[in-house]
Chains A and B, each alone.
Chain A
Amino acid sequence: DSGVTQTPKHLITATGQRVTLRCSPRSGDLSVYWYQQSLDQGLQFLIQYYNGEERAKGNILERFSAQQFPDLHSELNLSSLELGDSALYFCASSVAGVHNNEQFFGPGTRLTVL
């Protein structure tokens, strides 16, 4: 158990819909990262927050957005969903905001868009 929790574990929805994925980092970790893992694209970095502020942005679509709240939990919002958004979404946390600190990954949320 990494100490990072993600909810829900599974999500099934339809094209055009909007969903919210939630992540609680390990106690004491200030950084939260979001990743997408699909069969054809591998692990893709989406975005990083550090202590409530956006720190780095990766291959995140404009239809996707994220935020980190004062209690340090984070949410990833996916809207106007398409079939290609079906993937595993991982959240990770680390102590500091510097890239490549040891990151602790959650169990992931599996999103299926029908």
Chain B
Amino acid sequence: LAKTTQPISMDSYEGQEVNITCSHNNIATNDYITWYQQFPSQGPRFIIQGYKTKVTNEVASLFIPADRKSSTLSLPRVSLSDTAVYYCLVGVPLGSARQLTFGSGTQLTVLP
């Protein structure tokens, strides 16, 4: 059974770069990989999305290898306010259809 897996937790210090990897070994062929941030008692918030290679926006970068079986979210110079849970979201084949699947989430704690 294909799974979308992430590390359960990560700690970092302010100002450091943080890399969170998601393994999605059964991603649907045409699906993008999307990352979300979630604070307690709030809905997830979109961070970045990509299909292959590297994507960068004003808050993060996303690295996707050629086989697309994993992706790495990179947060440059984290601050205390980046403490949150980070999720990857991919579509996986389910028979003739596709099903959206969230990773298990990575709790990032940024320390002063």
**Residue positions of A touching B, CB distance < 8 A:** 2, 4, 33, 35, 42-45, 48, 56-59, 90, 92, 99-100, 102-108
The CA of A99 and the CA of B45, in the complex, are separated in Å by: 16
B43 and A100: CB pair below 8 A?
no
Number of interface residues of B (CB under 8 A): 25
**Could you tell me which residues of chain B, from 60 to 112, have a CB within 8 Å of some CB in chain A?**
87, 89-91, 97-102, 104-105
* Contact status of A102 and B102, CB under 8 A, knowing A43-B44, A90-B44, A108-B43: no
**Residue positions of B touching A, CB distance < 8 A:** 28, 31-34, 36, 41-46, 49, 87, 89-91, 97-102, 104-105
* Contact status of A106 and B43, CB under 8 A, knowing A56-B97, A100-B34: yes
8 more CB-based (< 8 A) A-B contacts, given A100-B100, A102-B46, A106-B43: A2-B43, A43-B44, A44-B102, A58-B99, A100-B49, A100-B90, A102-B49, A103-B34
